[in-house]
Structure 1
Amino acid sequence: MSTVPGAAPPPDPAPDPSPTLPTVGVEEEFLLVDRRTRLPAERAPQVIADAAAELGEQVQAEFFRVQVEVCTRPATRLADLEADLARLRAAVAAAAAGADCLLVASGTAVLSDRRPGRITDDPRYRAMAARYRGVVDGYGGALCGCHVHLGTVSRGQALALANHLRPWLPVVQALTVNSPFTEGRDSGFASWRTVRWARWPTVGPAPVLDEEQYDALVAGLVRSGVLLDRRMVYWYARPSEHVPTLEVRVADVNADLRTVLLLAALLRGLAAVLLAEIDDGRPAPVHPAGLVRAAHWQAARGGLSGDGIDPLTGRYAPMTELADRLLERAAPGLAAAGDLATVESALARIRRHGTGADRQRRSLRRHGRLTAVVDELAALTLAVP
């Protein structure tokens, strides 16, 4: 990708952040579906070309020809981020309409005709498809995430921040689950994207590493052929290879823009708190890799409806309680950014109305058909809060 958010201040004037308050940028991956059949539509080249006339490099291709990605500018204010996200969604949706398809924010394709799935005509993507042939499995593998970039940080700072964020990311994941359906069936998970994505090498919680250990490990993974290149480090939190950010990759893409803003604000607020603690020399909490993986599995399985694993004690607790603890942990950073009331309101709303996965299932119960789920997702993707 040639444009990645989070590396520099936005072009419009904005208040200076506090010393520990990062900038924040968002990447969103969307599916294109045919307006009549609601099946994945291989029209991304046309849609991207049309949208790029307005958006330039803020709209880009993804692995499959049924996917489109957008990248915001870095922001210090949540209002600027919201405006950028709304503008990007509107422009790509308009281009999609011109190609007789809908723009849909869902972590997986709700419906699919199980075609093999054509990848984007790109040398790197072709090399990935050849090397990981068994992993690239039709449009069931067209997975759409929402990635948050926190910057500006050095490589060492990014790794330290990833180490401190690590036990909290399952709770963040539980708030943003939005892929219960896949290829015309209920997966039984709130985030099937998480399960399906885990087929790729390195997907999962980041190991606890310093900069020297990171460089040695990644070089070894590339040298051994496990990874095609360094950009294929797919940990849930990873340092960017080409801009000074930490990229958090744990969330499904969400149709409701308020959930995206909650994700960005919550991660930025927590990062502000943790960066200050890192500067004070506090060590990262240590939890066994198996326990952290189990917490992510719990989040993917039930979202907020089940139990999670307390980042502080390692014991099981209701995921809703853990969400409250996450808010409490991030509150000083949220207050410094002026985002605390917004996040409190957004969390209360998710408690009332459910996660994206809950809303998709409720739509199916209400209408009795998955095409209606797709239509509601497309409408919500364009809705302005």
Structure 2
Amino acid sequence: MAVPLRIEQVLTFGVEEEFVLADASSRITVPRAPEVLEKMTRQLGPRAQQEFYATQVEINSKPHLSAAKLRTDLAEARRIAADAAADASCLLVASGTAVLTPGSLAVMDEPRYHRMATRFASLVASSDSELSGCHVHVGTVDPGEALAVSAGLRPWLPVVQALAANSPFSAGRDRGCASWRGMDYRRWPTVGPAPALDEAGYEAAVAGLVASGTILDRKMLLWYARPSDRWPTLEVRVTDVNADLDVTMLVAVLVRALATTVLAEVRAGVKPEQIADAQLVDAHDQAARHGMDAFAANPAGERVPMTTRLAELTDRALPGLRAAGDVDLAYRLMDAVYAHRTGAERQRAWFAARSSLADVVDNLARTAVTP
């Protein structure tokens, strides 16, 4: 008889969310981040952060053990950011890509961002939309354990990406996919699945990428999961930002539970299941193109519906869900997401009903501050 997995540590979790600022009249993104951030910082302090473009802002939650406290934290931070945006005649919009843009994008006036814009000038010049993600941090783990957990998460991150697909429109066009952010983001160096590495291998890989000029610095490593350089956490950065807080919470709860389960297995000497790199890349591509309607390979190499993979992920994460007391919450959130459809499906349904991308922007802004 198999010995039940013993969970000795439930990981804390926190969330970073990136938003675009759209003019309240035109609904086109506008570079008013400095003004909005000044107001946000009065209440959020360092939890209000700038982004690469001056049309974006970011909010960071505190780390939490309780899912309820995380949700309250995010809802409050969103409200503060939305109020600051309104004071600058803006809407705070939660979509993986901006629905309406001016064409050329202004880089935030910050020395590192200017260096990035110079080094990757062709990428920046060819970008017609901001990319806004949602990152989940789980901890506390040291870098070696973070890398081991990252390796264990690899087969499951395409499912998480599909669940949170929320960028069918970009720069005034339907891009014919569920997550244009997921498609377009891959033009940047190192975006993709993280390789399975130990700590020495990770440090050598990052040093090599910086030395070769592939990336500007360590902070520019864009793998879908990576140890944080600032916090004792693993940062999972594969998903679009979502207007619906239920989606954000479901992603966070599942990632935390899966990471908690994998960490317990690592500490027990259990090797994580793996998936071939080519199949993993294809699964991420399918997630970006088709969201939850995709088919993707499992570790056995079988192509199955993404909905099947989500059910398998939930089963895989059950030890972590039970330890955190989040089983009922996870299923309730999943039911809500299935009932209301993914963000990408909602955006398209709203456009079909209204025939107006400006109305899509308005709906995204309203939903982002709905409790």
Q: Report what 1:313 is aligned to.
A: 300
Tell me which of 83, 95, 100 is aligned to 1:106. Answer: 95
- CA contact 1:179–1:357 (8 Å) conserved in 2: yes
SS at match of 1:28: strand
Any runs of at least 4 consecutive aligned residues in structure 1 with deviations exceeding 3 A, and if so which?
Answer: none
Distance 1:347 1:52 in 2: 33
State the Cα deviation string for residues 297-347 of structure 1 (Å, max 9, x = none). 00001111121222x312110111111111111112111111111110111
Distance 1:86 1:353 in 2: 19
Matched to 2:141, the amino acid is V
SS at match of 1:136: helix
Q: CA RMSD in A?
A: 1.1
2:152 matched to 1:154? no
Q: Report what 1:69 is aligned to.
A: 58
Distance 1:20 1:276 in 2: 8
Tell me which of 318, 321, 339 is aligned to 1:352. Answer: 339
SS at match of 2:270: coil
Alpha-carbon deviation of 1:352?
A: 2.2
Alpha-carbon deviation of 1:139?
A: 6.0
Tell me which of 267, 280, 283 is aligned to 1:292. Answer: 280
- CA contact 2:12–2:63 (8 Å) conserved in 1: yes
Q: Report what 1:6 is aligned to.
A: none
2:336 matched to 1:339? no
Which is worse superposed, 275-284 or 142-151? 275-284
Gaps of 5+ in 1: 1-17
Alpha-carbon deviation of 1:284?
A: 2.5
TM-score, structure 1 length as denominator? 0.93
Alpha-carbon deviation of 1:37?
A: 0.4
Alpha-carbon deviation of 1:285?
A: 2.2
- CA contact 1:141–1:196 (8 Å) conserved in 2: no
State the Cα deviation string for residues 216-241 of structure 1 (Å, max 9, x = none). 11101111111110111100000111
Alpha-carbon deviation of 1:136?
A: 1.1
Matched to 1:291, the amino acid is Q
Distance 1:100 1:197 in 2: 29
Tell me which of 345, 359, 364 is aligned to 1:372. Answer: 359
Q: How does 1:1-385 map to 2 (within 5 A)?
A: 19-114=8-103, 116-137=104-125, 140-310=128-298, 312-384=299-371
Distance 2:49 2:225 in 1: 22
Query: Residues 352 and 51 from structure 1, CA distance in 2 versus in 1: closer, same or farther, beyond 3 angstroms?
Result: same
State the Cα deviation string for residues 251-309 of structure 1 (Å, max 9, x = none). 10000001111011101111111111101111232322111000000000111112122
Distance 1:231 1:53 in 2: 26
Matched to 2:324, the amino acid is A
Distance 2:207 2:127 in 1: 31
Distance 2:30 2:102 in 1: 11
Distance 1:382 1:125 in 2: 29
Distance 1:141 1:133 in 2: 15
- CA contact 1:304–1:320 (8 Å) conserved in 2: yes
SS at match of 1:206: coil
Matched to 1:154, the amino acid is D
SS at match of 2:123: coil
- CA contact 1:307–1:317 (8 Å) conserved in 2: yes
Matched to 1:281, the amino acid is G
Identity of aligned residues (%): 48
Distance 1:27 1:92 in 2: 13
Which is worse superposed, 345-354 or 255-264? 345-354
Distance 2:331 2:165 in 1: 19
Gaps of 5+ in 2: 1-6
